[in-house]
Chains A and B, each alone.
Chain A
Amino acid sequence: MDHQSYETWLLDDERLTAGQERELRLHLQSCPQCAALAQSNRALRAAPMSAPPAGFALRFQARLAAERKAQRIRNISGLTLILIVGISVMLLLMPVYLTYVSSSPAQLAAKSITDLMVVGFALRSIGQTCGTPACAATAFVPPYVWALGFVLVAGIGCFWFFSSRRFTRFLETRGRSEPVTPGGQA
């Protein structure tokens, strides 16, 4: 038998007959590669489980409690921000609302029509202002340059998103890595 077959026996952890085992033992005496493979097999099979230092579950409970507290703080901060934004918007809209409430139905109708017209004119003028250069640009700039530009913008966006994510994760990992007393190792 050739070296490859013995190597396959060792790599596949095959169950061998007594005769095959004898044959393999003979091969191991003359083949350092297979002998090393058999030695690594033995070492892997004999490797013990490493136990964590005492008090692991207690430390986990403390970490879970800290995580929950941080989550609660995040939730409260988010809620506070939403409330502040909501109240600010309400305060901004209050004068407009009060004007509407205090006026008669005829005044209200006239004001609504005027407002709608103002919005319509504003939208039209914005369309005209932006449309003219855009038409000119499409005529001059070839489509592949547009595609390239969009891809570039998307790429920068993706890069920014992933790098900020990685950076925040890195900071989280750095924050968490507190030294632990070693013990109970194999």
Chain B
Amino acid sequence: MNEEMALVLQAQQGSEEAFTRLVEQYQTPVYNLCYRMLGEVEYAEDAAQESFLRVYRNLARYDRQRSFATWLLSITAHYCIDCLRRRRFTMISIDAEQDDDERPMEFPDVNALNPEQETVRIEEQAMLQRVLQKLDATDRAAVILRYWYDFSEIEISESLSLTVSAVKSRLHRARKELARRMLASSPETRVERMPYGSPVL
């Protein structure tokens, strides 16, 4: 039995210390999933904590045949999807429209080997995060689980309660949408709109 499973067993028997160690171990993956899904730091913190609470409450139901990480991220993904649906139905958030103001600003690393490349990378990541928020909640979860957590299509289907073919088509659709939006918001495209115009103008 590995260390993680031993911790899960202890937590199932009521050890708060063991559960805290699991929280410490998985705080970054869970928080990252919430942040990528919800797009705002304060919602991400709250959702990550709520996800851990849900895991704590449902520890007795955890099937030891499954990977703990997959189960934990599945609960988190479902919670974030619920949050996004609730947010869409209950109120139209004005803050959600002003996404740039809430996001912590990242500055290029002056010690990086190529600062220009570093700036491009940061801009690209900011654009990706912005564009990710435009996707449908389940598509977004599928993309995040695939690219941040290297989940296979089968693991995604188990986590999001979908069929494998549905996951595949959702991933395709989401990736095309991401590319389309990134193409639309990249600076090169704006120049291409008037290829015969004078650079001065």
Residue ranges of A at the interface with B (Cβ–Cβ < 8 Å): 11, 32-33, 35-37, 39-53, 56-57, 59-61, 63-64, 67, 166, 169-170, 173, 176-180, 182-183, 185-186
Question: If the complex has contacts A43-B124, A47-B128, A60-B52, are A180 and B45 also in contact, measured as CB distance less than 8 A?
Answer: yes
Q: Are B41 and A182 in contact (CB under 8 A)?
A: yes
Pick the contact of A186: B23, B42, B106, B127 (CB < 8 A).
Answer: B106
Q: Are B52 and A45 in contact (CB under 8 A)?
A: no
Question: If the complex has contacts A43-B182, A61-B20, are A56 and B45 also in contact, measured as CB distance less than 8 A?
Answer: yes
Chain B residues with Cβ under 8 A from A186's Cβ? 106, 125, 129
Question: If the complex has contacts A50-B36, A177-B42, are A40 and B125 also in contact, measured as CB distance less than 8 A?
Answer: no
**Interface of B, helix, strand, loop or mixed by DSSP:** helix
Contacts between the two chains (Cβ within 8 Å), count: 126
**Interchain nearest-CB distance for A121 vs B (Å):** 53
Q: Are A185 and B172 in contact (CB under 8 A)?
A: no
Residue ranges of B at the interface with A (Cβ–Cβ < 8 Å): 16, 20, 23-24, 27-29, 31-32, 35-36, 41-46, 48-50, 52-53, 56, 83, 86, 90, 103-104, 106, 121, 124-125, 127-129, 143, 147-148, 171-172, 175-176, 178-180, 182-183, 186, 189
Chain A residues with Cβ under 8 A from B16's Cβ? 61, 64
Chain A residues with Cβ under 8 A from B28's Cβ? 49-52
Question: If the complex has contacts A49-B28, A64-B56, are A39 and B45 also in contact, measured as CB distance less than 8 A?
Answer: no
Complex-state Cα separation, A170 to B73, whole angstroms? 23
Complex-state Cα separation, A111 to B88, whole angstroms? 65
Q: Which B residue's beta carbon lies closest to that of A176?
A: B46
Q: Which B residue's beta carbon lies closest to that of A183?
A: B104
Complex-state Cα separation, A32 to B29, whole angstroms? 33
